[in-house]
């Protein structure tokens, strides 16, 4: 009876899941088509020679402000609807192909024989051209104006020893700042990663809700740069390395949860099914079926994160988060490029040694 009840519940959930996947497919189509219309309008305005109130050509920022976003969304919705209705003639849309897959009746033709393939190719080209204009890429300036930076490069190539002692002391602080942030992040990320793994949170509504909340929270945390977290914690606990530890800790938790959970989603389900068949509890399944498979890659990811934190702690110091960046920023502002060169060489040597060490450790444990 329990097996029949479980099967009935699965069948009842299937239509709801199918509808949700259809909504996801339509949403992706709507997003892609809206972006295409906006980029086309952007390029038309950019190459039309339109001028602003001052008589100058409009800048990319001004063009973005002039775009008709409402009309683009309406046009994207109409095109997505038409593509869905005429899918038998036009072929499967990109959103449906991504979420629902390509129907067998369409086979596997080359991308040049499908509207979907040409649409994706067009989107790639539009994205490159639009990105080139928005970011104001100037290759000629880059290749011909190097002389303006020659003084800086000359100073970096002739480091000064006057800041060497202070730099070595703060370099030690930088390494331990990154280490403490990583160490504090490991237990939190380890626990949250199981709730952020899709394959372990499908059984109940409570687990699915926890998955959504954890994923959303970690995505938001990871989206906020460590520099911003450093400013928040500096106002909280004051200037110093502890604020830097907290800033890197928060960001490391979000980053490790993503890496850990993706590894959990790729585990071999054979041991899990075997242990579940013995009547083991959910925690026992995790302990004996999941954890042994993920410990080696978890260690590798953790070492890699420590390596990242060593480099990020330099930037954290720019705003008062401790470490060698704390003395690097004022010397950059004052143009003391010899001393900047010394500090940069210390950072580069540390990163190089960390890279070799972490590679050796990962080679041993993976």
All structural domains of the chain with their residue ranges: 10-137, 154-365
Predicted confidence (pLDDT) at residue 98 exceeds the cutoff of 60 = yes
The CATH superfamily holding the domain 154-365 is MetI-like (1.10.3720.10)
Separation CA 58–CA 50 (nearest Å): 6
At 14 the pLDDT is: 64
Q: 218: pLDDT confidence band, cut at 50, 70 and 90?
A: very high
Q: Is 119 exposed, middle or buried (0-12, 13-18, 19+ CB in 10 A)?
A: buried
Rounded mean pLDDT, 17-28 = 85
Residue 15 in this model has a pLDDT that exceeds 80: no
Residue 52 and residue 62 in contact, taking contact as beta carbons nearer than 8 Å: yes
Which two tokens mark 336? Answer: 């003391």
CA pseudo-torsion sign 10, 12, 17, 22: positive
For range 102-108, the mean pLDDT: 79
Helix (H, G, I), strand (E, B) or coil at 51: strand
- Decide which of 111 and 79 is more confident: 79
* pLDDT at residue 363, as a whole number: 74
- DSSP codes of every residue in 105-136: GG----GGGSHHHHHHHHHHHHHHHHHHHHTT
pLDDT value of position 90: 86
Q: Residue 22 pLDDT > 80, yes or no?
A: yes
Q: What is the mean pLDDT of the chain?
A: 85
Residue percentage of the chain with pLDDT more than 90: 30
Lowest mean pLDDT among 205-214, 293-302, 357-366: 357-366
The string of pLDDT tens digits covering residues 296-345 is 888 888 988 988 898 888 888 888 888 888 888 888 888 888 888 888 88
Q: Rounded to whole angstroms, how far apart are CA atoms 253 and 246? A: 11
């Amino acid at each position: 009876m329990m097996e029949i009840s479980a099967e009935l519940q699965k069948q009842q959930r299937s239509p709801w899941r199918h509808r949700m996947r259809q909504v996801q497919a339509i949403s992706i189509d709507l997003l892609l088509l809206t972006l295409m219309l906006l980029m086309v309008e952007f390029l038309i305005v950019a190459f039309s020679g339109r001028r602003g109130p001052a008589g100058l050509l409009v800048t990319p920022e001004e063009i973005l402000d002039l775009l008709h976003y409402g009309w683009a969304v309406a046009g994207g919705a109409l095109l997505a609807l038409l593509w869905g209705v005429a899918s038998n003639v036009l072929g499967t849309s990109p959103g449906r192909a991504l979420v629902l897959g390509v129907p067998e009746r369409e086979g596997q033709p080359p991308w040049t024989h499908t509207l979907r393939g040409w649409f994706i190719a067009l989107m790639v080209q539009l994205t490159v051209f639009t990105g080139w204009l928005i970011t104001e890429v100037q290759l000629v300036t880059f290749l011909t104006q190097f002389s303006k930076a020659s003084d800086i490069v000359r100073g970096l190539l002739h480091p000064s020893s006057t800041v060497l002692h202070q730099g070595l002391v703060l370099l030690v602080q930088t390494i331990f700042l990154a280490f403490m942030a990583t160490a504090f992040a490991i237990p939190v990320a380890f626990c949250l990663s199981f709730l952020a793994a899709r394959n372990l949170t499908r059984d109940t509504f409570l687990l699915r809700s926890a998955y959504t909340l954890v994923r959303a929270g970690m995505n938001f945390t990871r989206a906020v740069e460590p520099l911003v977290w450093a400013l928040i914690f500096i106002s909280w606990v004051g200037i110093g390395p502890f604020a830097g530890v907290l800033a890197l800790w928060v960001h490391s938790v979000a980053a490790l949860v993503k890496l850990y959970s993706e590894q959990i989603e790729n585990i071999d389900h054979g041991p899990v099914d075997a242990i579940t068949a013995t009547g083991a509890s959910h925690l026992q399944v995790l302990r004996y079926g999941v954890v042994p498979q993920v410990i080696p890659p978890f260690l590798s990811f953790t070492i890699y994160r420590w390596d990242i934190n060593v480099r990020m702690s330099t930037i954290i110091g720019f705003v008062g988060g401790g470490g060698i960046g704390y003395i690097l920023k004022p010397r950059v502002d004052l143009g003391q490029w010899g001393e900047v060169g010394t500090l940069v060489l210390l950072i580069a040597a540390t990163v190089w040694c960390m890279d070799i060490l972490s590679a050796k450790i990962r080679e041993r444990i993976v």
